Amino acid sequence: MSLAATDIEARAVLFRTCFGQLKTEIGRVFVGQPSVVEQLLLCFFCQGHALLEGPPGLGKTLLVRTLSDALDLQFARVQCTPDLMPADITGTQLLVEGHDGIRSFEFQRGPIFANVVLADEINRATPRTQAAFLEAMQERRVTVFGATHRIDEPFSVFATQNPIEMEGTYPLPEAQLDRFFFKIRIQVPDIDDLAEIMVRTTGEQSVRVSTQFGADTVLSLFSLIKQVKIADSVLRHALHLVRATHPESPEAPPIVKKFVRYGASPRAAQSIVLASKATALLAGRYHVATEDVASVAVAALNHRIIRNFTAEMERVTPEEIARGVLASAPAL
């Protein structure tokens, strides 16, 4: 066995360790819903962006904040409001005076240049401001006054939105939604989790998380994830899932033909494959299996499926449609 293979094995072990430690640290603050934490971490290690959706008070902001606390990374929080301007996110040119008394414009970086960005209640920002996130999320760079500024890696945007309060909000356009790696739905905790939350938050001692690792480790692990192998048959299985979300495609199951107006983009396939690779590493494998694809497909597809009027009238959720697509996929 070559040295590189040994190195890969060591990094794979490191990945599993880091993932476990982060999960444990987050679990000390964020009670319950381990699948939500796993999806968030997968998204982070795959250098994707996540949209967390849930009613108020379920700990969406706390979850992301805890993640940033557990990492030795730059963290920025943007509280989105209707009067938030794009420059408040990307930064702007400021007139500054140098030591020699000469005044010049200098680019003042906005919060988007942090490693982990929390865009709280992103649907309260105006479309213009939301669009400011677009280039940053996809291209990982910002163009201000004609000058392009690269964003440091690792970079992830975690946005939250409240699906209940729709007044005064600006729903994210499909193009914006497509840029999110996962859409993670946070559920109301059960009574045991609620009791644990009460114990932790109403007691005398407050829980603090410890910093685990920094940017280099994250980038190294991201590089490792990309090296994981995927067989052609498994890849085609993932692509089949994406194709099946399009009602006009022959692979589409009846639920898609009935309830979907437009299906997932190739970005969905990218998300599925990348997240599957990370899942495979977590399972101790160096290759992707179909169960890895199945475990991440719903989170990658549900915000990319655009329902038609019938689905909205019959209250068929995109998640149900994504599960229908997964169930109808032929076995390998």
Partner 1 sequence: MSDSRRPAVSVVAVLGRFQRRLRLVAFVKTLPLSVAVAAAGALAVARIAGLPPTVTAIALLVGVLAATLASAAIARRHTGLGRTAAAVDRRFGLSNRIATALECRGHDDAMSALVVADAEAALCLRRPQDVPFEAPRHLVWIATLFAAAVAAFVLVGEPSTAREQLAPSEGVLGGSASASPANAKRTAASPAAAASASDANDTARRSMPAAPNDRGQRVESPQAASTNETADRLPGASSDTSSASERGGESRNPPGANTTQTTRPNGANSARQGGRDGAASADGSSRSQAPAGRGGAGTSSDVRATTDAAGGVRGTSTPDARASGDTLRAGARASDLTPAARWDRAESALAREHLPFEMRKYVRDYLVAIRTGSRP
Q: For binding to partner 1 (CB under 8 A), which residues are involved?
A: 1-2, 4-5, 7-9, 227-234, 283, 285-291, 331-332
Closest approach of partner 1 to the CB of residue 232, in Å: 6
Rounded Cα distance, 69 and 146, in Å = 34
For partner 1, which is the closer residue by CB, 50 or 288?
Answer: 288
For partner 1, which is the closer residue by CB, 64 or 228?
Answer: 228
For partner 1, which is the closer residue by CB, 2 or 205?
Answer: 2
Rounded Cα distance, 187 and 160, in Å = 13
For partner 1, which is the closer residue by CB, 164 or 331?
Answer: 331
Spatial CA neighbour of 301 closest among 257, 258, 251, 240: 240
For partner 1, which is the closer residue by CB, 96 or 231?
Answer: 231
Chain center to CA of 73: 17
Q: Exposed, middle or buried by CB within 10 Å (0-12, 13-18, 19+), for 51?
A: buried
Beta bridge partners of 77: 118
Closest approach of partner 1 to the CB of residue 239, in Å: 15
Closest approach of partner 1 to the CB of residue 314, in Å: 36
Quick one: tokens of 265? 């983009």
Closest approach of partner 1 to the CB of residue 14, in Å: 15
Closest approach of partner 1 to the CB of residue 237, in Å: 9
For partner 1, which is the closer residue by CB, 157 or 275?
Answer: 275
DSSP string over 128-179: HHHHHHHHHHHHSEEEETTEEEEPPSS-EEEEEE-SS--TT--PPPHHHHTT
Closest approach of partner 1 to the CB of residue 228, in Å: 7
